[in-house]
Amino acid sequence: MTSYEMEEQLKNLDARTAAIERILPTLATRDDLRLTTEALQHGLEDAKRYALMLNEATRDDIRLLAEHMLAMRSQLDVMRSQLDVMRPQLDVMRSHLDVMRPQLDRIEGRRT
């Protein structure tokens, strides 16, 4: 190998070394990776706890809604029963009104 070739090889090596020296500070160390991994694990645990809390709160809301719906259904059943009791009375009143309508119409006719 000639001295010129050796000098070229050394220049190439210097250029490569300079490139590595520029890149090296941006690379993460094992400690950096360990700290990042720990931070991610803590974040994941926090997110998991928050998700479980939201899930439990949602279950409680659904349970409360179901209880209210049952209470409303019970009230509706009572109202239906009352209406069923009143229906025959309402039918009698309607038939009385039908009988009285012609008389009411005649009375109305006299007033005008």
Question: What is the per-residue pLDDT across 6-58, written as a single tens digit (0 to 9) for each?
Answer: 989 989 999 999 999 898 888 888 999 999 999 999 999 999 999 999 999 99
Q: Which domain holds residue 88?
A: 3-111
Q: Token pair 């059943």 is at which residue?
A: 77
Q: How many of the other CB atoms lie within 10 Å of CB of 72? A: 10
Contact of 36 with 28, CB cutoff 8 Å: yes
What end-to-end distance do the CA atoms of the chain give, in Å?
A: 133
What is residue 42's predicted lDDT score, i.e. its pLDDT?
97
pLDDT band of 89, cuts 50, 70, 90:
very high
Number of domains in the chain: 1
